[in-house]
Amino acid sequence: MVFKVQFYDGLARNGILNLKSKKISIETPVFMPVGTYGVVRSMTPEELYEMGFNIILGNAIHLFFRPGLKAITDHNGLHNFMRWKKAILTDSGGFQIFSLNKICKVNDNGVLFTNPKDGNKLFLTPEKSMDIQYSLSSDIVMSFDECIDCNLSWDIVKKSMERSVLWSKRSKDHFNKLGNKNLLFGIIQGGLFHELRYFSITNLIKMDFDGYAIGGLSVGESKESLYSILKYVTPQLPQDKPRYLMGVGTPLDIVQAVNYGIDMFDCVIPTRNARNGHLFVSNGVIKIRNSQYKYDMLPLDKKCNCYTCINYTRSYLHHLYRCKEILGIRLNTIHNLFYYSNLMEELRNAIKQKTIRNFVINFNKNYIKNENLI
């Protein structure tokens, strides 16, 4: 069995995801740090292992352009290239239709990308996306989809969703031809329209993917819209398949999504915010660039046992940020990723102990109260 739910607490689930390609089991809910170019910025694999991470995300299109598939296949895959011994999920390139919309052209067959750095072109089809991810040897492969702005009209979103359904079928057919022993997840699209999401869900379930991702969110919608889609989509997904919410998110969004029954997450927020001096702590958020921390002798978070909090003061971290020192980025990143890893462990334990409702209430109350005050 690929996925087995161990404990329920309401809609929230604690499960085990078993990979076909390795003897690795991933306990959910789980957060995947983003390693777009085969590296989680400023972090070594050993540091990530020590924090408890056993799966990360890489991006097929960015890796195709840089360093290119030859450099990776010469190492017999992305794992060896980056010396990562655990699991890798690769994004198919669909999100780049949104994020790189100025350098791509879409039609029903695929997407033409132009690398802005050197002008090289790639016409990405569902089949090509599967080939690239096969070459990367990722453990979880994502079907090719079209991610667009969620605020577009019904007609535009409908056409895009229908295209994604067709691309999902082409992805699945080609994936099967490759004889890939890894897992393939389908991606549900449909913007903020429940009817379009329903069409996508029903068609993808018929294709029998190993897991199902909810795409097309975290692209500018309100929290109310995000939660509305999650509450609508999640109960319709198979109970025996993992559910992955792509590109989300903040600690607040993750806690809420787990409560709605989501199992897997990825987002650049912990690492990007670390580089910007925006640090998550147990009672809110610290913006370490602020002058109030210049002489602050406290650790970032008295309740945190990460390397940064054990060894350094807010004053020193403020100094590193103001000096734009690389060490400051590393220490901030260590702390934020540790925070996310610890948050997921707390969520898993709350589900096992059937205390998730109180956990969510207390977390939301504390986080919202302090988010903009520190």
177-206: pLDDT as tens digits = 998 789 999 999 999 999 999 999 999 999
Give residue 371's pLDDT. Answer: 54
- Name the residues annotated as catalytic: 91, 266
User: 102, exposed or middle or buried, with CB in 10 Å at 0-12, 13-18, 19+?
Assistant: exposed
How many Cβ atoms sit within 10 Å of the Cβ of residue 107? Answer: 9
Could you tell me where in the chain the CATH 3.20.20.105 domains are found? 3-267
Residue 349 backbone dihedrals phi, psi, to 5 degrees: -65, -40
- Cβ burial 326-365 (10 Å sphere, 16+ → b, else e): eebbbbbbbbbbbbbbbbbeebbebbeeeebeebbeebee
| DSSP H or E stretch at residue 357 | helix 356-370
Residues 169 and 144: their CA atoms lie apart, in Å, by: 9
Strands 211-214 and 243-245, sheet pairing: parallel
* pTM summary value: 0.96
Q: Which DSSP state fits 371?
A: T
Give residue 102's pLDDT. Answer: 80
Which parts of the chain have pLDDT scores under 70?
A: 1, 22, 368-374
Report the mean per-residue pLDDT for the chain: 95
Give residue 370's pLDDT. Answer: 60
3-state secondary structure of 345: helix
Give residue 43's pLDDT. Answer: 98
Give residue 220's pLDDT. Answer: 86
Give residue 131's pLDDT. Answer: 97
| 248 neighbors 223 (Cβ within 8 angstroms) | no
Give residue 329's pLDDT. Answer: 98
Q: Which residues contact 198 (CB under 8 A, 6 or more apart)?
A: 190, 236
In CATH, the number for domain 3-267 is 3.20.20.105
Give residue 373's pLDDT. Answer: 39
Per-residue pLDDT of 319-347, as tens digits, reads 999 999 999 999 999 999 999 999 999 99
